[in-house]
Amino acid sequence: MINYGAQSIDQSDIAAVTKVLKSPWLTQGPNVAAFEAALAKAGEAKYAVAVANGTVALHLAYLVAGLKKGDEVITTPNTFVATTNMLLAVGAKPVFCDLRLDTYNLDENKIEKLITPRTRAIVTVDFAGQACAYNKILALAKKYKLLVIADACHAIGATYEGKKVGRLADLTIFSFHPVKPITTAEGGAILTDNEDYYRKLMLLRSHGVTKDKKGFNVMTEFGYNYRLTDLQAALGLSQLKKLPRLAKKRHEVVRWYKKELGGVKKIILPSELKGNSSAWHLYVIRTIKPEDRLPLYNYLRQAEIGVNFHYPTVYSHPYYTKRGFATKSCPNADLYHDTAITLPLHTKLTKSEVRYIAQTIKNYFNA
Ligand SMILES: *Cc1c(COP(=O)(O)O)cnc(C)c1O
């Protein structure tokens, strides 16, 4: 099976982790702070806080943003459920905005009509690694005094009009799960320029406990143990050094796909908008006809091609449907849901594998 995603671990990653195993610190050693400094630099933000995974990074971001029961948050239905699950965890209500059919990101022109007196924030997801239309989104946020929180779990390394994803929103979240652009096994981070957010994130990450004037531990806030280990931070530092090279390979695979599949009329290839450099976490094609989607998906699976589906609309999950989130106001998201297939995209993919995948798609259509 050609997997849809795969990590890239080499000898230098293994050496970095092994070094920590032989050191006095397995958890809160020097690598966590060094990884955070490198992440802040990579995302062009003042501060980065490393945590146990992307999901808890979202939880902490929502907490420090002050989101709570009764608040509405405008977001996309085309995301991994963690984005909205953590909104539910703090009591806030996700309000789903329809998608653009070129980037599959939330449609910035459909946000304004969803704003009510209860709206507190917009949570963007830079889907597949491509930044949302931040100029318009940030202008709307300013006009209505809303926070912008970016779930950039797909998008470390991406740029929007020359700016790195990491400095665009009030809070930006990364994930380092093995399928993401760089990995720490499990891991995540929150980036921000806001010092108050930063201090609170550091506190909540570790039980809400800090040192008092005499140097004793005191708990001042309700917190958690959401820490990243030093082992993982060492892996992350080593991975981050390779991010430009890994990203270049992803762009190369995308060029191969475009060359091989550009002429196939029955499918729509993903696009990168002018001004955007995508992290290309995912390569999603759509069938023109919804009837072709499932048969093509099964045909590719039978040919040992590990196609996948990112994502079923959040409101179509039984947990959400049962709680009244089913919506008829996102026709583009529904069309996307019925036509999208994720093809393999990772840094170990070869040109001949891409050719084989493309040929199998052409065979399906007899093209
Ligand atoms: C991966 C992912 C998450 C969750 O990250 P974990 O590190 O797996 O907890 C959240 N949102 C999006 C969009 C993701 O892709």
pLDDT digits (tens, 9 = 90+) for 19-72: 999 999 999 889 999 999 999 999 999 999 999 999 999 999 999 999 999 999
User: Does ligand 1 come within 6 angstroms of the Cβ of 80?
Assistant: yes
- Predicted pLDDT of residue 45: 98
Tens digit of each residue's pLDDT (9 = 90 or more) over 343-353: 999 999 999 99
Question: To test the ligand 1 pocket, which listed residue (53, 55, 228) has its Cβ within 8 A of the most ligand atoms?
Answer: 55
Q: Can you tell me whether residue 242 is helix, strand or coil?
A: helix
Q: What is the mean pLDDT of residues 311-323?
A: 97
Ligand 1 pocket mutation, candidates 86, 99, 104, 175, criterion most atoms within 8 A of CB: 175
Residue 103, classed as helix, strand or coil, is coil
Beta bridge partners of 94: 73
pLDDT at 234: 98
Is the CB–ligand 1 distance for residue 129 below 6 Å?
Answer: no
Percentages helix, strand, coil for the chain, rounded to the nearest 5? 40, 20, 40
Show the CA angle centred on residue 342, arms to residues 305 and 130, nearest 5°.
140
Residue with token string 């990074």: 57
pLDDT at 251: 98
Q: d(Cα 343, Cα 295) in Å, to the nearest integer?
A: 15
Structure tokens at 275: 């001004």
In whole angstroms, what is the distance from residue 295 CA to residue 65 CA? 44
For residue 151 and ligand 1, the question of a CB distance below 6 A is answered with yes
Phi, psi of 285 (to 5 degrees): -105, 160
What single DSSP character describes residue 227?
A: B
Residue 86 has pLDDT above 70, yes or no: yes
- Sorted by where each starts, the structural domains of the chain and their CATH numbers stand as 11-97+105-241 (3.40.640.10), 243-365 (3.90.1150.10)
Count, residues in the chain? 367
Are residues 333 and 96 in contact, defined by beta-carbon separation less than 8 angstroms? yes
Pairing outcome for strands 267-268 and 217-219: unpaired
The residue to mutate among 51, 83, 130, 342, having the most atoms of ligand 1 within 8 angstroms of its beta carbon, is 83
CA max distance for the chain: 76
Instruction: For residue 216, give both structure tokens.
Output: 């004793």
pLDDT digits (tens, 9 = 90+) for 99-140: 999 999 999 999 999 999 999 999 999 999 999 999 999 999
CB 102 within 8 A of CB 124: no
Residue nearest to atom 5 of ligand 1 (CA): 54
pLDDT in tens, 133-164: 999 999 999 999 999 999 999 999 999 999 99
83 lines ligand 1 (CB under 6 A): yes
Query: Cα–Cα distance between 231 and 140 in angstroms, integer?
Result: 41
CA 357 – CA 152 distance, rounded (Å) = 28
pLDDT of residue 201: 98
| pLDDT value at 367 more than 80 | no
* Cβ(140) – ligand 1 distance below 6 Å: no
DSSP string of 275-322, one letter each residue: TEE-----EEEEESSHHHHHHHHHHHHHTTB--B-----GGGSHHHHH
